[in-house]
Amino acid sequence: NAGVMQNPRHLVRRRGQEARLRCSPMKGHSHVYWYRQLPEEGLKFMVYLQKENIIDESGMPKERFSAEFPKEGPSILRIQQVVRGDSAAYFCASSADSLNTEAFFGQGTRLTVV
Amino acid sequence: DQQVKQNSPSLSVQEGRISILNCDYTNSMFDYFLWYKKYPAEGPTFLISISSIKDKNEDGRFTVFLNKSAKHLSLHIVPSQPGDSAVYFCAARETSGSRLTFGEGTQLTVNP
């Protein structure tokens, strides 16, 4: 049973480009969460999705960031017109239920904006 | 507004001794607490959790204690092993929510 898969592991983008981060949850998990970790900080919640629905996006920046979890395929976190401050590790987690009693994390995508 | 705080950025202990990692929270709506371990360049790995209806949960070398009145929890690792060296994150979840709120993490180093 494969764990949570994130790709790419490392992503370098120039300022103004778009970044697309992918997350495939564990088999049987339909709840996906995205977190961001800035250098020297803890993980900050961004968005919680179920298949085809955004449940809680209260942690998402108001502009340039969007997320989806389509019926088929991975969850995508999209960052448009990236800026240097977007450089961070982005982690995806999945769980089998909405209680999130034991969320399993992927290895993360390290985004570097140059 | 840091609702979950880990005041010690780092902790160093000798192999075989006890490691105690502390975590404080301010949100009274938190009812479920988790500890994660993280190695460099990897995602957090779930370690142990505790519900607010309990004050202790034990799993092998790991024990989590919860003091609701003080809004404080701690993770005890005994005996500590060099492989335990990692960053440990405390996380909390509200009664009505699914999102986790994380502390800043504590770097544990276990010296052989």
B52 contacts on A by Cβ (under 8 Å):
none
B46 contacts on A by Cβ (under 8 Å):
102-104
> What pLDDT, on a 0 to 100 scale, did the predictor assign at position A101?
66
Instruction: Tell me if residue B66 falls in helix, strand or coil.
Output: strand
On whether any CB of chain A is under 8 Å from the CB of B42, the answer is yes
pLDDT in tens, B13-40: 999 999 999 999 999 999 999 999 999 8
User: What confidence tier does B98 reach under pLDDT thresholds 50, 70, 90?
Assistant: confident
Q: Across the A/B interface, how many CB contacts are shorter than 8 Å?
A: 65
Alpha carbons B80 and B54: distance in angstroms, whole number: 24
Alpha carbons A4 and B11: distance in angstroms, whole number: 30
Collect the ranges in chain A with pLDDT lower than 50: 1
Give the CA count within 13 Å in the CB-facing half-sphere of A64.
13
Query: Average pLDDT, stretch B44-71?
Result: 96
